[in-house]
Amino acid sequence: MLYKLLDRPYLVFWLSIPIIILNAAYSRNDTMQFNVYDTYYIFSRFQLFLSITIAFAFMGLGYWIMHKAEKCLYQPLSILHITLTFGGIFTIWIISICLRVSIMQYNAGDHLTNAIYLVSFIVLFSQIVYPINIIKSLFKN
């Protein structure tokens, strides 16, 4: 089973889309806000989940096209991309649950927020692995 998912990484992205859509429907009216210096960025969780769904659909499409073209992807890069993407999103989800709990009495709120920013940066930065994997497999003999 694990080998099939590693051989077809598009399945991982496409199978996660219904879960993300259910989360988007569940938290339709929730908002998120980020404070960067004197500017507050406020957006709905629905917009976030919708953009993640679109990104996952395109990533799955790219992996699927490479599979149909019988181009062999570099498996360690695929594993790294999937692990950092889903592991990071799962970590952000767990940390945000900890933020909702009354943990502020321990003065850990700022540290947890910084951890979310750091993990978010790692997830976004790790998306560079995806085009590198595609380009490397296109030029491989």
Would you state the pLDDT for residue 108? 53
Count of alpha carbons within 13 Å of 89, Cβ hemisphere only?
17
Q: What SS3 state is found at 72?
A: coil
* Containing structural domain, residue 30: 2-139
Total domains in the fold of the chain = 1
Q: Which residue has the tokens 């910084």?
A: 114
Of 58, 60, 76, nearest in space to 10 by CA: 60
Q: How far apart are CA 95 and CA 61, in angstroms?
A: 30
* pLDDT by 10s per residue, the chain, length 141: 556 666 788 888 998 999 888 888 877 777 777 666 778 778 787 888 888 899 999 999 999 998 898 888 888 888 899 999 999 888 887 877 766 654 444 555 567 777 778 888 899 888 999 999 999 988 875
Q: How far apart are CA 9 and CA 135, in angstroms?
A: 16
pTM, to two decimals? 0.77
Would you state the pLDDT for residue 22? 87
- Amino acid 138 reads L
